[in-house]
Chains A and B, each alone.
Chain A
């Protein structure tokens, strides 16, 4: 019983997590015309294997390519800025004594739980007044605000673990302040900053509510919104296999990041929210 428990548990986790992924990949290889007449089953039925046809069609779609570009640009810029601002705040929270410290943490928590949809109405109105409706900047600002709580919590938990005395120790050994910072503190803090950046990027890449509410054209529409509005050549029947191919492409960046950085992401998620 004991010996069998673990392999069964592992198998269950793998099936639960990966089955839908395998399914959507399988679906993306079903021929588009077989989808319109109906092609049930987990694998493509005999003679309905489409090869790379769906992927080629999605890739030739300018709207989709533009959405990928928008998503990459907006998410990366928002991640960079958000992590910079969060690093300053997290350093202060982890190392300095100042009035309002608890307030900052509570506020970050409150914002993490904020019902995003209740903001889109007023933001829609405000962004049109400011002329940043349907622009990259109009999405970057809310993404920054909503990723800050997670970034601040994760980073301050990381920073609290850093042995800051080592900076003084390096200075005693003859390093200048800059050298002590660059050679001692930066390498110690970098993994935390990096983890916060990955989690922030996931949030921005995943966002849907702002994506559909604050954009109206392909000028700034990110992937999730674009997928939801993607109807293909015939708007009356959803082209399931095309959408599946587009979904797989949109998931590739996530899978690459997860494959390379899984250890860091798990550490970040578990330390930021629960451990001190």
Chain B
């Protein structure tokens, strides 16, 4: 027995001991070899192109006129940052993010509560909640675009007080609402499943104890359940917020950026792929990347998200 446990203790003690055992070293090597292919693959498609974007962004480089390529240093960035279009697009993108995440959090939490307490029809509920999760975003975009359409849709007929010929895609606000609804429909299941996992971690004993002490349902929710699933809520918000900030598919399908509904992602796509302005597009790519970093940092700092704790590694 002792001969079996001794080297094992030695290997796990690796951090403390000065001289690592052969076994620990071999384990270290094997571990690094096993993760190497994954690291390489992830870097090929992210780090390398990102560095290339950084490089291209200092050029005035259009694929339509590749020979006129010249170094313009920060000119692309200055042009973008001094253009009101860039700021208008940023504001709209932030609006998409805040509105969709806030509404999804509420609906997702209600769904998670229902699923958590559910004793019957579990399979049906699970199946139907996974359909929007699995459906192609483009399909969701079409479905809702047609639903809101005044010629072939049903929404105008169903909502009282709205004219049958009302064009949802003729102005910014209604078009943004339609896009948000498609986005919310598609991604609420993801949110509710993450919250369901968090709910499962709240101890039933604690809720029982609060009940015995005379706490109302509302008090139990706010004082016991929510504080105890904080980590799960924050992870869900972080994931979904960054996802929502990158909103692209729904806009492409539903409005194609018309009526000022374009997001930062859409603007970047349009510059690079449609107008082949690789220099300007790369500058926008870098700005998009930096803004995602900034938002991630803000959410992690503001809400003190601890991912390790959420994974119970802490």
A-B contacts, 13 of them at CB < 8 A, read A10-B114, A17-B132, A40-B152, A96-B31, A97-B24, A115-B245, A119-B285, A120-B273, A125-B63, A145-B41, A148-B41, A206-B135, A240-B149
Is the beta-carbon distance between B139 and A16 smaller than 8 angstroms? no
Binds B, one of A52-60, A176-184, A253-261: A253-261
The verdict on A208 contacting B143 (CB below 8 Å), with A115-B288, A240-B149 known, is no
B24-64 vs A, Cβ < 8 Å mask (1 yes, 0 no): 10011111101101110110111011101100100000010
Assess whether A3 is interfacial by the CB under 8 Å rule.
no
Query: In the assembled complex, how far is the CB of residue B192 from the closest CB belonging to chain A, in whole angstroms?
Result: 9
Is the beta-carbon distance between B200 and A270 smaller than 8 angstroms? yes
Assess whether A74 is interfacial by the CB under 8 Å rule.
no
Is the beta-carbon distance between B35 and A240 smaller than 8 angstroms? no
CB-based nearest A residue for B200? A270
Is the beta-carbon distance between B114 and A125 smaller than 8 angstroms? no
Is the beta-carbon distance between B198 and A213 smaller than 8 angstroms? no
Cα-based distance from A109 to B139 in the complex (angstroms) = 27
Is the beta-carbon distance between B136 and A250 smaller than 8 angstroms? yes
Cα-based distance from A223 to B133 in the complex (angstroms) = 17
The verdict on A270 contacting B197 (CB below 8 Å), with A6-B114, A14-B125, A96-B30 known, is yes
Assess whether A221 is interfacial by the CB under 8 Å rule.
no
Is the beta-carbon distance between A121 and B156 smaller than 8 angstroms? no
The verdict on A101 contacting B147 (CB below 8 Å), with A270-B200, A273-B197, A274-B235 known, is no
Is the beta-carbon distance between A97 and B31 smaller than 8 angstroms? yes
Assess whether B86 is interfacial by the CB under 8 Å rule.
no
Interface residues of A in 29-56 (CB under 8 A from B): 30, 35, 38-42
Cα-based distance from A274 to B313 in the complex (angstroms) = 11
Query: In the assembled complex, how far is the CB of residue B242 from the closest CB belonging to chain A, in whole angstroms?
Result: 4
Is the beta-carbon distance between B288 and A38 smaller than 8 angstroms? no
Cα-based distance from A241 to B196 in the complex (angstroms) = 37
Is the beta-carbon distance between B313 and A276 smaller than 8 angstroms? yes
Interface residue from B46, B143, B196 paired with A20 (Cβ < 8 Å): B143
CB-based nearest B residue for A224? B138
Is the beta-carbon distance between B146 and A224 smaller than 8 angstroms? no
The verdict on A119 contacting B45 (CB below 8 Å), with A39-B152, A89-B37, A240-B152 known, is yes
Q: Which residue, of B249, B266, B284, has the highest number of chain A Cβ atoms within 10 A?
A: B249
Assess whether A185 is interfacial by the CB under 8 Å rule.
no
Cα-based distance from A35 to B151 in the complex (angstroms) = 8
Query: In the assembled complex, how far is the CB of residue B159 from the closest CB belonging to chain A, in whole angstroms?
Result: 13
Residues of A within 8 A of B121 (CB): 10
Assess whether A164 is interfacial by the CB under 8 Å rule.
no
Residues of B within 8 A of A14 (CB): 124-125, 128
Is the beta-carbon distance between A122 and B53 smaller than 8 angstroms? yes
Assess whether A220 is interfacial by the CB under 8 Å rule.
no
Query: In the assembled complex, how far is the CB of residue B6 from the closest CB belonging to chain A, in whole angstroms?
Result: 16
Q: How many interface residues does chain A have, given as a range?
A: 35 or more
Assess whether B190 is interfacial by the CB under 8 Å rule.
yes
Assess whether B123 is interfacial by the CB under 8 Å rule.
yes
Assess whether B19 is interfacial by the CB under 8 Å rule.
no
Residues of B within 8 A of A125 (CB): 52, 56, 63, 278
Query: In the assembled complex, how far is the CB of residue B179 from the closest CB belonging to chain A, in whole angstroms?
Result: 14
CB-based nearest A residue for B196? A270
Is the beta-carbon distance between A89 and B242 smaller than 8 angstroms? no
Interface residue from B28, B56, B296 paired with A122 (Cβ < 8 Å): B56
CB-based nearest A residue for B34? A92
5 other contacts beyond A123-B45, A240-B146, A274-B201, with CB at 8 A cut-off?
A40-B150, A121-B53, A208-B138, A213-B273, A243-B142
Assess whether B268 is interfacial by the CB under 8 Å rule.
yes
Where the two chains meet, the residues of A that have a C-beta atom closer than 8 Å to any C-beta of B are 6, 9-10, 12-14, 16-18, 20-21, 23-24, 27, 30, 35, 38-42, 85-86, 88-89, 91-93, 96-101, 104, 107-109, 111-126, 141-142, 144-146, 148-149, 152, 157, 202, 205-206, 208-209, 212-213, 223-224, 227-228, 240-241, 243-244, 247, 250-251, 254-255, 257-259, 262-263, 265-266, 269-271, 273-276
Cα-based distance from A112 to B243 in the complex (angstroms) = 9
Interface residue from B41, B129, B154, B242 paired with A17 (Cβ < 8 Å): B129
Residues of A within 8 A of B151 (CB): 35, 38-40
B70-111 vs A, Cβ < 8 Å mask (1 yes, 0 no): 000000000000000000000000000000000000010011
Query: In the assembled complex, how far is the CB of residue B171 from the closest CB belonging to chain A, in whole angstroms?
Result: 20
Is the beta-carbon distance between B194 and A274 smaller than 8 angstroms? yes
CB-based nearest B residue for A273? B194
Is the beta-carbon distance between A209 and B131 smaller than 8 angstroms? no
Residues of A within 8 A of B114 (CB): 6, 9-10, 12-13
Assess whether B174 is interfacial by the CB under 8 Å rule.
no
Is the beta-carbon distance between B38 and A265 smaller than 8 angstroms? no
Query: In the assembled complex, how far is the CB of residue A122 from the closest CB belonging to chain B, in whole angstroms?
Result: 4
Assess whether B193 is interfacial by the CB under 8 Å rule.
yes
Interface residue from A41, A89, A266, A271 paired with B130 (Cβ < 8 Å): A266
Cα-based distance from A265 to B190 in the complex (angstroms) = 11
Residues of A within 8 A of B45 (CB): 119, 123, 141-142, 145-146
Is the beta-carbon distance between B34 and A96 smaller than 8 angstroms? yes
